Amino acid sequence: LQGPRYVSPAPNGGFVVSEECGDVKVFMSSRKLLCSLSSKYGHQFGNPAGVCVDVDGSILVADEQRRTVHLFPEHGPPICLVSAGLRRPNGVACSSFGHLFVADAGENCVKVFK
């Protein structure tokens, strides 16, 4: 890893890690690299920060530089969930009830999206 920042467990026993160098890596339960989100989806990150995995196994990534939160489903293209209203998103968490929590360090608060 190059500058690991945030880590989240994945439902399959693996984990997801954001890196300072601008990528997010997905590892299997055996700790072997499964994929890079940049390579798998052709997505360009600015500065990926917080990561989490939802109940469907999709990966959510907060991008501090681009001020966005993207969802990366197992199949299909990435989906931008939040593209406005964030100053410096750096932490994300999702609930089983469909809520997305974003820690916005630029505004010193946690924002909740449904």
First CA to last CA distance, the chain: 33
Domain count, the chain: 1
Domain extent at residue 36 = 4-113
Helix (H) / strand (E) element for 37: namely helix 37-41
Query: Residue 12 sits in a domain of what CATH number?
Result: 2.120.10.30
Alpha-carbon distance of 109 to 42, in angstroms, equals 31
pLDDT tens digits, 6-27: 999 998 899 999 999 789 999 9
- Using one digit for the tens of pLDDT, what is the confidence trace for 46-98? 999 999 999 899 999 999 999 999 999 999 999 999 999 999 999 999 998 88
Query: What are the pLDDT digits (tens) for 101-114?
Result: 999 999 999 999 99
Task: Say if residues 39 and 63 touch (Cβ distance below 8 Å).
Answer: no
